[in-house]
Structure 1
Amino acid sequence: MVGALLLTSVATACGGSSLGNSSQRSDSGKVKVGVLVSLSGVYASVGKDMKNGFDLYLEQHDNKLGGRTVDLDVVDEGSEPQSGVAGATRLAQQDGVDLVAGIVSGPTASASRDIFDAAKVPVLMGNTGSVALGKKLKSDWIWRASYDNGDPGRLLGKELAADNSAGNVFLIGADYSGGHETLDGFKETFPKDRIAGELYTPFGKTSDYSPYLAKIRASGAKNVFCFYAGGEAIEFTKQFHQFGLDKSVKLYSAGFLTEGTALDAEGDAALGVMNASRYNWDVDNPENKQFVAAYQAKFNRLPTVYAANMYDIGILLDQAIKSIDGAVTHDNLRKAINELGGVNGVRGKLEFDDTNTIKQPFYLVKVDKTAEGLRNVMVKDLGRS
């Protein structure tokens, strides 16, 4: 495994001095938090939003979590597993962090699993929903505070399966773990005989989607369920519109197609796009209302699911660290997270299951024109993951 190989090489170079030292703490009045997010590459906009969400929580709480002053260590994940693993290695083995929050992509998460597990560093995933981390790669030190990649597809598939008039669905996504696992979730709950086709496009290398769009048109499908985020989401949505498919085909996504700056770039091409998302700006709870107001005031835009997820991690960590008596060690932080129970976040009620995966509500949202411009607007609650 990539993570294991890099672990060995870096441990040798650094003398392995911090490996497995789960009681390491320099100051009981502080907590050192590593934030690993993409600040460059195809997912740079995602990583920026994630960092904004976490930064806002800290700013609102006097740069403290659980009453401890936060020493923030931000590392660029990039868009390739190699750069992500290098960042994970630095945080886990060299920088002496108490915990790590973030990680955009599934390949980075999977390849870094052994690094964090061997160093016994608690990690709260802030975006990736890598399925393996809830199954064969499950670690006592890693929590998917984001979601499981299969969740949006499973819930949307169930919703569309119940509507016999909805017609057939064509599946398409980026050709890497996130794309495959998202579409696999949909196939778990949607009838096989109503799936009109399934395609995967080279991740980070596709600029012309017309050959794939032509196959969707030829299939006669009335719906498309896709997985694209960041720059790929923009190109796919715009070309879907330019190809004229939006006139006869309803476009559904796993919650990322029209998020944040992607929607800005897509403009009217995104009108009518439906998303199965774990967050939207109009989720009706007190935590979210104050979050949206504060985020708009600071960044002059609505928060995205990426920002909301990291803000919720701030809430989770605040409560976990507050319960710790004495120094914040890897061991007692792990115990505190495991004993959290239900927490009210901006996404709704949050709690970890026995696979260290967050249980949460999901929502069906639609891009519409409002008095404030184009927005993702709540349609209905899809139920809990």
Structure 2
Amino acid sequence: MSKTSKTVFKPLALAALLALSAGLSHAQKGETVKIAWIDPLSGLMAPVGQNQVKSFQFFAEKFNASNPAGVKFEIIPIDNKLSPAESLNALKSAIDQGVRYVTQGNGSGAALALIDAINKHNERNPGKEVVYLNHSAVDPDLTNSKCSYWHFRMDADTSMKMEAMTTFMKDQPDIKKVYLLNQNYAHGHQVARYAKEMLARKRPDVQIAGEDLHPLAQVRDFAPYVAKIKASGADTVITGNWGSDLALLIKAANEAGYNGKFFTYYAGVTGTPTALGTGSAGRVYQIAYNHYNMGGQMQKWQEEFQKKFDADFYTGSVIHIYTLLGEAMAKAKSTDPVKVAAVLEGLKAKSFNGDVEVRKGDHQLQQTLFLSVWQKTDAKNNYSAEKTGMTFVPVRTFEPYVSSTPTSCQMKRPG
């Protein structure tokens, strides 16, 4: 090597060493990973949001004590008032604070707005990319026609849950007339759509006795809707309602003496177990990726959460988020969203409900689902939801391949 080449080599080698050390610093043990939580903390759905903030913070402590990447998670809660426009303001505020990871889940309208804004931001700001971790927004379009490389859904979508729910319903001969009552936004529309399509395929003899859509988080008295359900002669109601919209619907149904079945997505969410009471035993079903009586570590966490906050833990996708982020950051040896997103695609892990996989084609998590029914606690199923003496008991388990639905996603990948 000549004298000249040695002179050139030294600054190049130093630059390479600095670049390497900079890269390693991204995976440095103890590095803080900020996650902006963008969901309602005011209005009728505030109790749901408040529960979920506590859930994210509670499990941040658990995973900060132990995760494969050795990082520390920090949650930054921002109230979006259940509004897509406010969600965009919250996203801008988070980005201005240097946040690179965002989570949201209450309202698919807000989710669609975030996906669009994050796509544009990432395209215009290379090196400052943001990843969106969707904990509960379940409109199937989010991983189909509106799919995004930067969006990862940790809940099962509406179609997956309806696939499992109707697989159970087809074997129930007493179900003859079904009423569809849902919130008037993307998720509610999709619940009604998939219910009609799948029942027609699996139980063509079942009659749709009626169908209604109502404003999201605005109705305070569901008595008129219950009167229509009773008048229709429906023996079963399918609803994707959540929060106050389900709690008040159940309350009105009980007060009106409606004795039909309810097949729900979110009967375990804040306020609804109390509304169910003892009168709903054996009549209210929930399809979800978890239930109250899973045993093991999950049961211990639920009991600890209830003791600490006097509330139930139900947003299990929080655990998926921390589990998969920790795995992805360890494999990527970085917290850089670009590197982490590349590893999240197709990532498999063990979570509280079994083996899960981020499907590479659309970033929809594939996972086990459970159908559970509301009944009194017993020796085997002893978790008391909202201290009612009642609980959700599993009646059917659906492995990932059963509830999985196809995707039409044509994903545009960076570069």
Task: Name the TM tier (shorter chain).
Answer: 0.7 to 0.9
Amino acid across the alignment from 1:116: I
1:322 to 325, 330, 334: 330
* Residue pair 1:277, 1:364 contacting (<8 A) in 2 also: yes
Gap regions ≥5 residues in structure 1 = 1-22
1:175 to 184, 187, 194: 184
Question: What SS does the corresponding residue of 1:42 show, helix, strand or coil?
Answer: coil
* Residue identity (%): 21
**Structure 1 CA distance for aligned equivalents of residues 289 and 235 of structure 2:** 25
The answer as to 2:298 corresponding to 1:282 is no
Q: Summarize the alignment of residues 61-72 of structure 1 with structure 2, pairs less than 5 Å apart.
A: 61-62=63-64, 66-72=69-75
Q: Summarize the alignment of residues 31-110 of structure 1 with structure 2, pairs less than 5 Å apart.
A: 31-62=33-64, 66-91=69-94, 93-110=95-112
Question: How many residues end up aligned between the 2 structures?
Answer: 353
The answer as to 2:152 corresponding to 1:148 is no
1:186 to 195, 207, 230: 195
Amino acid across the alignment from 2:232: S
- Show the counterpart of 2:272: 262
CA distance change for structure 1 residues 26 and 277 in 2, over 3 Å: closer, same or farther?
A: closer
**Structure 2 CA distance for aligned equivalents of residues 73 and 208 of structure 1:** 34
**Structure 2 CA distance for aligned equivalents of residues 116 and 287 of structure 1:** 35
Amino acid across the alignment from 1:72: I
* Residue pair 1:295, 1:301 contacting (<8 A) in 2 also: yes
CA distance change for structure 1 residues 290 and 207 in 2, over 3 Å: closer, same or farther?
A: closer
Question: What SS does the corresponding residue of 1:237 show, helix, strand or coil?
Answer: helix
Q: Summarize the alignment of residues 1-385 of structure 1 with structure 2, pairs less than 5 Å apart.
A: 29-62=31-64, 66-91=69-94, 93-120=95-122, 121-191=130-200, 193-194=205-206, 195-246=208-259, 249-254=260-265, 256-271=266-281, 272-284=283-295, 286-304=296-314, 306=315, 308-325=316-333, 327-341=334-348, 343-353=349-359, 354-370=361-377, 372=384, 373-384=389-400, 385=403
Amino acid across the alignment from 2:262: L
**1:312 Cα deviation from its structure 2 partner:** 2.1
Gap regions ≥5 residues in structure 2 = 1-22, 123-129, 379-383, 404-415
TM-score, normalising length: structure 1: 0.84
CA distance change for structure 1 residues 40 and 269 in 2, over 3 Å: closer, same or farther?
A: farther
**Structure 2 CA distance for aligned equivalents of residues 38 and 252 of structure 1:** 25
CA distance change for structure 1 residues 333 and 27 in 2, over 3 Å: closer, same or farther?
A: closer
1:240-259 CA distance string (max 9 Å, x none): 1111112xx112112x1343
**Structure 1 CA distance for aligned equivalents of residues 302 and 268 of structure 2:** 18
Question: What SS does the corresponding residue of 1:150 show, helix, strand or coil?
Answer: helix
**Structure 1 CA distance for aligned equivalents of residues 156 and 373 of structure 2:** 20
Which deviates the most, 61-70 or 315-324?
61-70
**1:193 Cα deviation from its structure 2 partner:** 4.9
- Determine which structure has more spread, i.e. the larger CA radius of gyration: 2
Question: What SS does the corresponding residue of 1:252 show, helix, strand or coil?
Answer: strand
**Structure 2 CA distance for aligned equivalents of residues 208 and 50 of structure 1:** 25
* Residue pair 2:261, 2:284 contacting (<8 A) in 1 also: yes
CA distance change for structure 1 residues 344 and 260 in 2, over 3 Å: closer, same or farther?
A: farther
**Structure 2 CA distance for aligned equivalents of residues 374 and 244 of structure 1:** 20
* Residue pair 2:39, 2:82 contacting (<8 A) in 1 also: no
Which deviates the most, 154-163 or 109-118?
154-163
Amino acid across the alignment from 1:380: R
Amino acid across the alignment from 2:263: Y
Question: What SS does the corresponding residue of 1:268 show, helix, strand or coil?
Answer: coil
1:39-84 CA distance string (max 9 Å, x none): 2222222222222222122212336752123343221222222222
1:247-305 CA distance string (max 9 Å, x none): xx112112x13434321244335433111222112125x4423433432343344421x
- Following TM superposition, the consecutive aligned residue runs of length 4 or more in structure 1 with deviations greater than 4 angstroms are 25-28
CA distance change for structure 1 residues 27 and 155 in 2, over 3 Å: closer, same or farther?
A: closer
1:172-226 CA distance string (max 9 Å, x none): 1111111111222222321255222211122222223233222222222211111
Which deviates the most, 224-233 or 43-52?
43-52
